[in-house]
């Protein structure tokens, strides 16, 4: 491999000739040989938005000339569209402020501009990575802004649409199965009847609430600390830079970001990310229940509950012929567990702000972006490859309902709780029906039992 020599404040460094990064990035590659994880590309591209907006704001404030501004805009557009993705080799596990990644961005843009201007990469002509690309900025305020923009963008453009599609499918199932009576279950034991439609409607209602929670939590992420520079004080910026840079970010993203009211707080602590991760964990809890209920209700086919039949996507066993497993539900369950674990990492990272700076920024955004990706991918796969193809075993529903001892609950207003309990216990002990038990005990006639115990009426308020 051939190299060129670049300089930073510590001296000369060899940089791979074909790369667009510079000396500080090369040092980071050498100094952080940790793991295989790299900075998520979403953060890198969000940085392009920030650098573009900063160049426009600095030019408006007469700090950056139009020629340099236009060069930065051209290079930043390439960064935003992914044309420069290959020039970001630094490990995720770097300094907690993300300084190495910010300088990686600054160097790539400056060196790309050198190419565009006919200069040699590393010449820092016509644009300097620190003085021009990083003007009015610090890693401490730009990195959390890139975190926020990347998380908001991925959530609004990917996760929320997937959740909405899943909710619509759950609503469709609730309408399709609105009249199918079945046994309810509490404590894993038989309970009073519901409809299968009500069961799916409950899932849809849970998800609707989670979607609202996600949208609400995004409002806090949209408060950007740009203009705070190193410690939130705004050193080396002109008054009003924060409003200008956010204005240009909104024009680029068609969003509604706001300057953080207290930039020191937004740099030193990342409570909005901790809150958002907690909402993702709540979504994971819902997906875990959805996955578990799906596989329990489909367990069998002969020796389990077996009320649902899932699509047969692939063979389930390497040794047991004909076995088919609830694989999509199992994948969804595992994703939910991983997202819960990610939230723990975010919680620890969020509590790692010392004085004027949180020093776990890469950790926080890596886990949040992974959670968004996993939840979206798994939910979309579950909907397409499991939920839409679910079929109902109506014979099994009817058979369980007929044997359900908890139908006796309808008799509470008629016989009282104690007599109703004796009917259920007698029926169970004698292996007979509830009606036969009620008649045998002398509490009701057969006609009276049939009048009062109507499973369909037990799925809604029934007292007059």
CATH at 424 = 1.10.40.30
CA distances (Å), origin 289, targets 90, 203, 458? 38, 9, 25
- Provide the 10 A C-beta neighbour count for residue 302: 5
Last residue of a domain, one of 101, 135, 169: 135
Give the contacts of 230 (CB within 8 A, at least 6 positions apart): 138, 140, 141, 356
Distance between CA 333 and CA 443 in Å, rounded?
47
Q: What is the pLDDT of residue 464?
A: 81
> Is residue 220 in some structural domain?
yes
Burial of 111 by CB count in 10 Å (0-12 exposed, 13-18 middle, 19+ buried)?
Answer: buried
Strand duo 258-259 + 223-224: pairing: parallel
Q: Could you tell me the two tokens for 72?
A: 């930065």
Residue finishing a domain among 75, 104, 135: 135
Residue 250 lies in a domain: no
The Cα–Cα gap between 96 and 139 comes to 10
Q: Mark whether 15 and 101 lie in a shared domain.
A: yes
Q: How many domains does the chain have?
A: 3
Kindly state whether residue 377 falls inside one of the protein's structural domains.
yes
Annotated binding site: 97-99, 128-131, 138-140, 186, 318, 323-325
Q: What is the DSSP string of 291-327?
A: HHHHHHHT--SSSS---EE----S---SSSTT----H
Average pLDDT for the chain: 97
Q: pLDDT by residue (tens digit) across 128-156? A: 999 999 999 999 999 999 999 999 999 99
**CATH number for the domain harbouring residue 39:** 1.10.275.10
- Residue in the block written with tokens 């894993």: 188
Q: What is the rounded distance in angstroms from the CA atom of residue 209 to the CA atom of residue 297?
A: 24
Judgement on whether residues 421 and 375 belong to the same structural domain of the protein: no
- One domain, residues 317 and 435: no
In this structure, the answer to whether residues 98 and 189 fall within a common structural domain is no
Token duo for residue 352? 């790692």
Per-residue model confidence as pLDDT tens digits over 91-125: 999 999 999 999 999 999 999 999 999 999 999 99
Asked whether residue 163 is assigned to any structural domain, the reply reads: yes
**pLDDT per residue as tens digits for the range 169-206:** 999 999 999 999 999 999 999 999 999 999 999 999 99
Closest CA to 436 of 421, 427, 414: 427
Burial of 163 (0-12, 13-18, 19+ CB in 10 A): buried
In a domain, 79, yes or no: yes
Last residue of a domain, one of 86, 108, 135: 135
Kindly list the catalytic residues.
Answer: 187, 317
| Residues 119 and 225 placed together within one structural domain of the fold | no
CA distance 27 to 104: 10
Residue 456, number of CB atoms within 10 A of its CB: 11
What is the extent of the structural domain holding 56?
3-135
Q: Which two tokens stand for residue 251?
A: 């024009």
Q: Is residue 8 part of a domain?
A: yes
Joined tokens for residue 52: 């573009």
Residue 68 maps to a domain = yes
Whether residue 1 has pLDDT greater than 90: no
Which run of H or of E encompasses 25?
A: helix 23-31
> Do 152 and 297 lie in a common domain?
yes
**Whether residue 157 sits in one domain with residue 75:** no
Q: Domain holding 157: CATH number?
A: 1.20.200.10
Q: Same structural domain for residues 187 and 299?
A: yes
Domain co-membership, 161 together with 309: yes
In the annotated binding site for substrate, the residues are 97-99, 128-131, 138-140, 186, 318, 323-325
In a domain, 111, yes or no: yes
pLDDT tens digits for range 23-58: 999 999 999 999 999 999 999 999 999 999 999 999
User: Looking at the structure, do residues 213 and 310 belong to the same domain, yes or no?
Assistant: yes
Q: What Rg value do the Cα atoms of the chain yield, rounded?
A: 30
Half-sphere exposure of 261 (CA within 13 A, CB side): 1
Measured CA to CA, the distance from residue 63 to residue 57 in angstroms comes to 9
3-state SS class at 356:
coil
100 and 161 together in one domain: no
Same domain, 280 and 417: no
């Amino acid at each position: 491999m051939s190299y060129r020599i670049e300089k930073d404040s510590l001296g000369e460094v060899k940089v791979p000739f074909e790369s667009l990064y510079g000396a500080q990035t090369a040092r980071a590659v050498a100094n952080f040989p940790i793991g295989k994880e790299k900075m998520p590309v979403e953060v890198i591209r969000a940085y392009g938005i920030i650098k573009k907006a900063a160049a426009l704001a600095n030019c408006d404030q007469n700090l950056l000339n139009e020629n340099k501004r236009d060069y930065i805009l051209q290079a930043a557009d390439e960064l935003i569209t992914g044309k420069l993705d290959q020039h970001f080799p630094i490990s995720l596990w770097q300094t907690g402020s993300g300084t190495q990644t910010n300088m990686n961005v600054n160097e790539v843009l400056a060196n790309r501009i050198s190419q565009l201007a006919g200069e040699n990469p590393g010449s820092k002509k016509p644009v300097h990575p620190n003085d021009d690309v990083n003007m009015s900025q610090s890693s401490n305020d730009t990195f959390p802004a890139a975190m926020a923009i990347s998380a908001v963008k991925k959530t609004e453009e990917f996760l929320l649409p997937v959740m909405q599609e899943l909710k619509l499918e759950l609503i469709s199932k609730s309408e399709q199965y609105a009249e199918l009576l079945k046994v309810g279950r509490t404590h894993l034991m038989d309970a009073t009847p519901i409809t299968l439609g009500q069961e799916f409607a409950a899932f849809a209602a849970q998800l609707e609430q989670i979607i609202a929670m996600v949208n609400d939590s995004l409002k806090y992420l949209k408060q950007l600390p740009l203009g705070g520079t190193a410690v939130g004080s705004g050193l080396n910026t002109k008054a009003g830079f924060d409003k200008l840079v956010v204005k240009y970010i909104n024009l680029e993203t068609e969003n509604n970001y706001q300057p953080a009211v207290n930039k020191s707080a937004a740099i030193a602590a990342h409570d909005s990310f901790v809150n958002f991760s907690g909402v993702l964990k709540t979504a994971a809890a819902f997906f875990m229940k959805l996955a578990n209920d799906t596989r329990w209700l489909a367990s069998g086919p002969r020796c389990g509950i077996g009320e649902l039949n899932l699509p047969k996507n692939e063979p389930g066993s390497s040794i047991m012929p004909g076995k088919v497993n609830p694989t999509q539900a199992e994948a969804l369950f595992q994703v939910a567990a991983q997202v819960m674990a990610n939230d723990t990492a975010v919680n620890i990272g969020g509590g790692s702000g010392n004085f004027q700076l949180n020093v776990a920024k890469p950790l926080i955004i890596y886990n949040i972006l992974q959670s968004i990706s996993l939840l979206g991918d798994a939910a979309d796969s579950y909907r397409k490859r499991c939920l839409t193809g679910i079929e109902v075993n109506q014979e099994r529903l009817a058979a369980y309902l007929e044997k359900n001892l908890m139908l006796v609950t309808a008799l509470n207003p008629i016989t009282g709780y104690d007599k109703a309990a004796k009917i259920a216990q007698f029926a169970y002990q004698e292996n007979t029906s509830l009606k036969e038990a009620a008649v045998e005990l002398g509490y009701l006639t057969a006609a009276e039992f049939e009048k009062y115990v109507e499973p369909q009426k037990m799925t809604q308020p029934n007292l007059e």
